[in-house]
Amino acid sequence: MPMSSDTFELVAAAKRCALAAWPKTGDKLYAFTKAGVMLDDLLPFEDRPRTLFDVPRGSPALMSALDKVNARFGKKTLVLASEGMSRSWQLRSEYRSPRYTTRISDLPVVK
């Protein structure tokens, strides 16, 4: 993958990796519950290695706007459509024990 700081390119690369690792072809269906991307050897954009055939990609203004909206209104306020909108799973917390020692609202009330 070419070096990039563009969210669209990073999500596309992560999706390609997930599809390669868990193929859904023929009789072999694999599901995954959670995936992540680890980034290392990060460099400032200006210090990136350049090649003779570098083509400007993405839109720095769009990425900046996306980051500013999420910083102001909270993480995941704006997401890419490829991240998905509906989830087939639900958090099961109905059997979670009360947190008496860490949450005041979980303290029992005596009447």
Give one DSSP letter per residue of 19-84, joined into a string. Answer: HHHS-EETTEE---S-------S---GGGS---TT----S-HHHHHHHHHHHHHH-TTSS--GGG-
pLDDT digits (tens, 9 = 90+) for 43-91: 777 787 777 887 777 777 888 888 899 899 988 888 877 666 666 666 6
- The total of structural domains in the chain comes to 1
The CA–CA distances, whole Å, from 44 to 24, 31, 60, 100 equal: 37, 36, 13, 46
| The pLDDT of residue 103 | 80
pTM comes to 0.51
Report the C-alpha gap between 111 and 103 in whole angstroms.
Answer: 20
User: Which domain range does residue 74 map to?
Assistant: 7-81
| Structural contact between residues 82 and 13, judged by C-beta atoms closer than 8 angstroms | no
- Res 2 pLDDT > 70: no
Q: Answer whether residue 93 is part of any domain.
A: no
Strand partners, 29: 24
